[in-house]
Structure 1
Amino acid sequence: MKNFWSIGCLSLGLALSSTAFADVKLEFPDTVNLLVTNMQTPKVSGSLLDNNKSITLPNGVNQVVFQFTPDFLDKNDYKKVYSHIVVARFDAKDDTLVLKMPKYKSYYDAKVNIEKMTWQLHSSKTDKDINVVDDKLSVTGFVLGRDYTNEVMEYNRAGGKAAVAVSYVTVNTDKPVLGDSGKTVKVATEQHLKVGTLSELQRLYLQSSAQDRKAFRKWIVDQE
């Protein structure tokens, strides 16, 4: 009876262990705007005021799309710098990965150097940076109403440097898509937003972060 109990406890412990480490956790700073993960809109954990956020990804090959947007106080004026849109592909299993972005001394330093920025994905399991294949999407800056999910799917179909395999894509519906790891994932594509009415602009503004709202208000003033 004692041996049976020991075996049962061991089996339960192994089961709990495999459950606890059955995926990949990606942690990133709030200066990173995570746009798309595996051709889907990401479900990010963390509140608006958190300095760091995270998302859970499946084991295996993953693709993430993000933009680095550090902000600075320059001559008593709030300013934000926008990097290019990064598409990155990596392979990981049962790990916590930390997205490490460059640090800039000032707004001018970031403005000059952000286009040639270097960044890393650091593995908590091995305490080393993992291999990442990264590329750029064509758009830069603050853009309203851009359908990043659809753009990334088109990027993958075109076979970009950091692409993952897509067997087929159906626009404006929920259909299964075969990913690079051979798993079927559900992709909800978004319709292009028609930014041409006051109500639409108001909706987009309210859905933005506090930092993006402030940057957008400054941009509006600069246009006057």
Structure 2
Amino acid sequence: MMKRVKTLLAGLILAPTMAYASVTVDIPIDVQLLTVNEKDVGFSSLGFDHKDSVTLNNGVNQLVFRITKVVSDGGNKGTKYTSVPLVATFDAADVELNIDVPKLRTLAQGSTFNDKPTFSVLQDGKEVNSLKKGKINAGLKFYSDTVAEVERFNKSNEPASLRNFGTVAAIPSESLPSESEVSTSKTAVNLNNVKAQFETLSKTDKEEFLSWAIKNLN
């Protein structure tokens, strides 16, 4: 009987620790997660997917993401905007964090943001002390081999590179899709989302998209 009581008490003592032995990062609606600790998370190249949050193990973690949304083209039409890939690397344990990005409403604001990105990772409204930020200027090459470009960044002397942090935390298996799911997500995009986004584009952007689609039909 006493042994069972001790086991129960031990479980109650350890329960809070087990419940919070991880880092949760909440992701705003206009932010698309691309990689976690150099692992592809199965993002859509068209930018129509979104994860509400990601759960990480305690320790050093790196998120690469981008802002993707419909903004004003300066007139009465909306057009799709995609930011440069952004890098956030930090060392945290047993906390809930959130990515904070500015509200971009026009292409002009987006262009300014790409030149000098301003974003943060917050805990209770304050920036995480260990946070280092960066961006990856690889152009379209980034999306042809995302992981390779992230690895290249991490071998550089950039403050947010993993080279400056050392060993990263292992990623919980439930936070990443399988290789087959990653492959599928690159080719299978929700058709309804594509249609909805297409309707928000300006006439010029629609024509450009159709031209691209026809060229890549086969």
Considering the TM-score relative to the shorter chain, is it more than 0.5?
Answer: yes
Cα offset, 1:159, TM superposition? 4.0
2:176 matched residue in structure 1:
none
Paired letter, 1:88? A
Paired letter, 1:180? G
Larger relative contact order, structure 1 or 2 (CA cutoff 8 Å, min sep 6): 2
Query: Following the alignment from structure 1 to structure 2, what is the Cα–Cα distance between the partners of residues 11 and 151?
Result: 46
Unaligned 5+ runs, structure 2: 174-178, 180-184
Query: Following the alignment from structure 2 to structure 1, what is the Cα–Cα distance between the partners of residues 148 and 142?
Result: 15
Aligned residues with identical type, % of pairs:
24
Query: Following the alignment from structure 1 to structure 2, what is the Cα–Cα distance between the partners of residues 206 and 77?
Result: 28
Deviations 1:65-118 (Å, cap 9, x if unpaired)? 111123225545331222221122111101111001101344443344443231
1:130 matched residue in structure 2:
128
**Residue among 181, 204, 211 paired with 2:167:** 181
**Structure that is richer in strand per residue:** 1
Query: Following the alignment from structure 1 to structure 2, what is the Cα–Cα distance between the partners of residues 17 and 56?
Result: 17
Query: Following the alignment from structure 1 to structure 2, what is the Cα–Cα distance between the partners of residues 52 and 165?
Result: 27
Paired letter, 1:30? I
Query: Following the alignment from structure 1 to structure 2, what is the Cα–Cα distance between the partners of residues 62 and 117?
Result: 20
The answer on whether the counterparts of 1:83 and 1:115 sit within 8 Å (CA) in structure 2 is no
Query: Following the alignment from structure 2 to structure 1, what is the Cα–Cα distance between the partners of residues 96 and 207?
Result: 37
CA-atom RMSD in angstroms? 4.1
User: How many residues are paired up?
Assistant: 192
Quickly say closer, same or farther: Cα 1:52–1:42, change in 2 above 3 A: closer
If the length of structure 2 is used for normalisation, what is the TM-score?
0.68
Indicate the SS of the match to 1:103: coil
**Residue among 186, 189, 194 paired with 1:207:** 189
Unaligned 5+ runs, structure 1: 167-178, 191-202
If the length of structure 1 is used for normalisation, what is the TM-score?
0.66
Q: Which deviates more, 146-155 or 50-59?
A: 50-59
Query: Following the alignment from structure 1 to structure 2, what is the Cα–Cα distance between the partners of residues 129 and 78?
Result: 32
